[in-house]
């Protein structure tokens, strides 16, 4: 349903919030400008966005697109939204006619969290700065530059910024669930301040057109596309997402995939492409209480003709678990691995422990949802990091204790 209160069913033309799927759209626009010689990815970003103050170290657009620019993320955990609304940025209620200018004001004067290039720090704010660079390099507004370089060539004629004051036909209402599990209207959000990293509306067919256009080299050349799909590595090598330039990287049942997820008030979204099979799926949901990533993974398996993988628990010596227990941390997740007798558990902050089961000595799986953990070990067998596989993407978490 697009609107529960008025009994309006969703259709293929319904417009959803796509959240952070906005990032590969922004990155593609930047790479199109780079191909044309209008945007130097490796020049200081102030060349194109002079209103952003100079920092201790230079920041480049390439670093921003790969979340290596040292720009902070939100100051509080982004979810659950009914708690994170205490942060005026996460739950922004102000509308900005100039979203780039308004968005920069939230973080422009904040110190960098790391020297650019050294550390992966996922940052929607960094994409606002990249959007400013796109505007400066193109000589147009950010939105107009994206329309010219991505939306029109891909035939994405329904895709547009999520303007809460505009009358936008076919835009869905936004839903969530309260603590009792009842469906409610989602917390309010005006995303005008973060359109480049999380403020576009789109339909499923439009996002499918984006996938087709990327695969068919309609937006950028094949070599440029592969540059976007090449993992960026921070020099410290610490906890990071497997990430290129605007695209998350991973695998579905061993088949390479690329894509991006998105989540914000009243939305859950996932886009996955299996490049070698020239196949892709898009899932857009008008609720932040539903998970799009697991459904996208299953749909991609169907498109690829794969049967659901049945994971089988094996018996291992519980003493092996002692090599894995401890704390692990990445930009967007912290977790603890613990042992209770012959069982191994994962605990995320504020949640109950969840048992994981060995598929082999290094690979473990959850039975309660579709995700897996691989422990990366040193020569002594002790884990140095783990990889969380979920929804076709990989997240690397470094052992911290």
pLDDT value, residue 332:
66
- Reported as a single tens digit per residue, the pLDDT across 299-332 is 999 999 998 778 899 999 999 999 999 999 887 6
pLDDT value, residue 307:
85
Q: What is the model's pTM? A: 0.90
| Whether the Cβ atoms of residue 290 and residue 385 lie closer than 8 Å to each other | no
**How many whole angstroms separate alpha carbon 303 and alpha carbon 281?**
8
pLDDT value, residue 192:
97
Angle (deg, nearest 10), helices 99-107 and 124-138: 140
Instruction: Give the Å distances, CA to CA, from 36 to 31, 76, 219.
Output: 9, 39, 12
**How many whole angstroms separate alpha carbon 74 and alpha carbon 20?**
14
pLDDT value, residue 254:
87
Ranges in the chain, pLDDT < 50: none
DSSP state of 20: G
- Reported as a single tens digit per residue, the pLDDT across 211-245 is 999 999 999 999 999 999 999 999 987 778 899 99
pLDDT value, residue 260:
97
């Amino acid at each position: 349903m697009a609107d529960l209160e008025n009994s309006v069913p969703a259709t293929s033309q319904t417009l959803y919030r796509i959240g952070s799927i906005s990032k590969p759209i922004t990155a593609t626009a930047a790479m199109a400008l780079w191909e044309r010689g209008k945007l130097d990815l490796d020049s200081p970003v102030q060349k194109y966005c002079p209103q952003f103050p100079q920092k201790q170290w230079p920041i480049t657009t390439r670093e921003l697109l790969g979340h290596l620019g040292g720009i902070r993320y939100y100051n509080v955990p982004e979810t659950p939204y009914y708690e994170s609304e205490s942060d005026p940025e996460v739950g922004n209620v102000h509308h900005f006619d100039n979203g780039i200018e308004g968005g920069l004001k939230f973080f422009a004067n904040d110190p960098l969290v790391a020297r650019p290039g050294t550390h992966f720090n996922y940052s929607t704010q960094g994409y606002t700065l990249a959007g400013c660079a796109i505007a400066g390099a193109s000589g147009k507004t950010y939105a107009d530059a994206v329309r010219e370089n991505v939306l029109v060539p891909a035939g994405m004629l329904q895709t547009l910024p999520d303007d809460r004051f505009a009358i936008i036909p076919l835009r869905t209402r936004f839903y969530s669930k309260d603590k009792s599990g009842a469906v409610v209207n989602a917390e309010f959000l005006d995303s005008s301040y973060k359109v480049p990293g999380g403020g576009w509306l789109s339909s499923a067919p439009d996002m499918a057109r984006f996938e087709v256009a990327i695969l068919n080299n309609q937006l950028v050349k094949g070599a440029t596309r592969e540059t976007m799909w090449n993992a960026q590595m921070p020099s410290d090598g610490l906890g990071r997402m497997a990430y290129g330039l605007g695209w998350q990287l991973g695998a579905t049942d061993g088949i390479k995939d690329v894509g991006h997820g998105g989540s914000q008030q009243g939305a859950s979204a996932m886009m996955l492409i299996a490049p070698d099979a020239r196949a892709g799926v898009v899932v857009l949901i008008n609720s932040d209480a539903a998970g799009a990533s697991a459904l996208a993974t299953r749909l991609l398996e169907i498109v690829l003709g794969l049967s659901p993988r049945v994971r089988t628990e094996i018996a291992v010596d519980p003493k092996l678990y002692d090599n894995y227990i401890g704390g692990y941390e990445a930009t967007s997740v912290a977790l603890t691995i613990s042992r209770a007798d012959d069982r191994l558990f994962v605990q995320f902050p504020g949640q109950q422990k969840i048992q994981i089961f060995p598929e082999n000595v290094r690979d473990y799986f959850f039975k309660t949802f579709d995700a897996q953990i691989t422990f990366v070990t040193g020569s002594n067998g002790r884990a140095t990091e783990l990889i969380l596989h979920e929804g076709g993407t990989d997240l690397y978490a470094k052992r911290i204790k």
